[in-house]
């Protein structure tokens, strides 16, 4: 396992499955969390996620410099990034231009994909719902969609999580080529 990307709706089981995948590697695990406890409700969400992880795992809190956090994880550790959705929100609230967010996403995804011990990233799929009513909501949906695509291209495996179940996502070259046309297997 190099890089695995898990995407899906809120409360779909992505983080639980990411924990299970990381634990199955039987290596040290470092969890890079991107959430900020800006209010009581978010603080409780963070505590709930902490309780779901084995206590011997290391947690690194990094809301902005994801690539730097990944660089500091020991080479023998599996890294679990939870989550890209909040990371992108954090960057946008700091008024970074879309291009800068995407550049950071490419760098962080490349670093995660290059880890010999493996990496798992969790993100929300926000493009399947209603079109947000305000410009910031539409910008967030669009930027996160592009960031998710960047990470999916870097990933060895990507899956959509629905109701706690994985639906593998195929890379374009797995389903179409000029030589073969569309494939069904």
Active site residues: 49
CA quadruple 119, 156, 45, 105: dihedral positive or negative?
positive
**Alpha helices (H) in 26-126, listed in sequence order:** 40-51, 66-72, 84-93, 98-113
159: enclosing H helix or E strand:
strand 157-162
List, as one string, the DSSP characters of 163-184: TTEEEEE--HHHHEETTTEE--
CA max distance for the chain = 56
Note whether 69 and 35 are within 8 A (CB).
Answer: no
β-pair partners for 157: 4
Token pair belonging to 10: 């809120």
Residue pair 16/132 in contact (Cβ under 8 Å)? The answer is no
Radius of gyration of the chain (CA): 16
């Amino acid at each position: 396992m190099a890089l695995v990307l898990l995407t899906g709706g809120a409360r779909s089981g992505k983080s639980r499955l990411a924990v299970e995948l990381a634990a199955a590697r039987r290596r040290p695990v470092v969890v890079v969390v991107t959430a900020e406890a800006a209010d009581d409700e978010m603080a409780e969400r963070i505590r709930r996620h902490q309780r779901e992880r084995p206590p011997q795992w290391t947690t690194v809190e990094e809301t902005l410099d994801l690539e730097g956090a990944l660089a500091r994880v020991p080479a023998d550790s599996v890294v679990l990034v939870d989550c890209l959705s909040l990371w992108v929100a954090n960057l946008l609230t700091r008024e970074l231009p879309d291009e800068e967010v995407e550049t950071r996403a490419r760098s962080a995804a490349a670093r995660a994909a290059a880890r010999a011990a493996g990496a798992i990233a969790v993100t929300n799929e926000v493009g399947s719902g209603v079109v947000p009513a305000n410009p910031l909501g539409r910008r967030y949906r669009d930027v996160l969609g592009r960031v998710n695509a960047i990470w999916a291209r870097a990933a060895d495996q990507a899956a959509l999580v629905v109701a706690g179940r994985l639906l593998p996502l195929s890379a374009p070259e797995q389903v179409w080529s000029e030589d073969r046309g569309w494939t069904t297997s």
